[in-house]
Chains A and B, each alone.
Chain A
């Protein structure tokens, strides 16, 4: 029996919140050949499996042990789930190759996943990486910039 949109959202929420907030990876919720289309460091990539996701989560959780993902908006359909989210945490270990700043960081992103037979089979993510670098003081904010917003 096909999963309902509500089921699909529950899969995405469990997968992402467990990984980001607890460091627990539910491999049973992602297909071994799932395609990751996420952009990292300004470069688009296309990788299979959960390795790239594990790597990015591990990097951020190492840099920000108290990192917390909060989903602010969601859409779920027969095969897609969209989350617009906010992450907060303290930079004690150094983010994106930078030395530790001790700053409380807050940044936004969006993730879209395609779900088939109860597992994530495709993922797209966009993270405000420039906003992180601006908060770290590596890149100056644009003129008249507001505080980072949701």
Chain B
């Protein structure tokens, strides 16, 4: 019989902050390896991977498409091996094709929420709700 290890609240908050700051904003690949589990589940409404290396490619693609891409949490709520965050994303310029949308040069900012799952002290998975409707409006794809 195995006992599940519960991450401390402090460690969970630190990991969530690193997700936004070190990983998404700074694109720090060492932080990716330290904070995320090897079989990290990344679930967006239209993309899902179960591979940390595949996630690194998604991260790279987003930083190529969006200049000065930054994310910051507005609230972090932790309970045992799960956490949730409200956050915002901002880019100064959509500079390359992203999801079939050619570069618009537009600035964009959207809110989102993420649900985090922890295992063995690392983030084992995330499920993300980004306001892509608003992003598509800001990139002039929909009105």
> Real complex partners, A and B?
yes
On A, residues with C-beta under 8 Å from B are 5, 39, 41-44, 73, 75-77, 80, 82, 84, 107-110, 112, 124, 126-131, 133-134, 138-146, 148-150
What DSSP secondary structure best describes chain A's contact surface? mixed
Q: How many residues belonging to B are interface residues under a CB distance threshold of 8 Å?
A: 31
- In the complex, the answer to whether A131 meets B46 with C-beta atoms within 8 Å is yes
- Contact of B103 with A by CB under 8 A: no
Q: Which candidate, B13-21, B22-30, B31-39, B82-90, is the interface stretch facing chain A? A: B82-90
Within 8 A of A (CB), among B35-75: 43-48, 75
A107: which B residues are within 8 A, CB to CB?
45
Q: Flag whether B136 is at the interface (Cβ < 8 A).
A: yes
The interface residues of chain B lying within 8 Å CB-to-CB of A143 are 99-100
A112→B99 contact, CB < 8 A:
no
Known: A126-B111, A139-B142. A82 touches B84 (CB 8 A): yes
Q: Which residues of B contact A (CB under 8 A)?
A: 43-48, 75, 77-79, 82-84, 86, 99-100, 111-113, 115, 127, 129-134, 136-137, 141-142
